[in-house]
Structure 1
């Protein structure tokens, strides 16, 4: 099941929803204020990694620069 990211147009909170394929076109509600005025955001996707890379995906042998937030 895909995870979609939404932003509430009322309270401006961003939230994720795990959506069944059959429910993809159903309206979503903001879990914070229950508003139905939400907008689906364009989000990045996750990738797998192996034990030779950091959480950001950069190999352990290369400095990541710290801009990704992995803390390494």
Structure 2
């Protein structure tokens, strides 16, 4: 699961960096296209973040069920 967190964290940070860069480009140039890119990148950042936590929660649920059923100790 450690590898998962590193990969997920890298993807979220990269997406956030794209969001920040596009937002700063919008401020610097005033071009509305950068604002649209920043909004889309922010939505993807949220999707990646929530997806990461959904997978982590699902992993804990499955692990707990396996422990309850006595399959793993």
Q: Could you tell me the TM-score, scaled by structure 2's length?
A: 0.23
Higher-RCO chain (CA-CA 8 Å, sequence separation at least 6): 2
> In proportion to residue count, which structure has more strand?
1
Looking at secondary structure, tell me which structure has more helix per residue: 2
> Quick check: which has more Rg, 1 or 2?
2
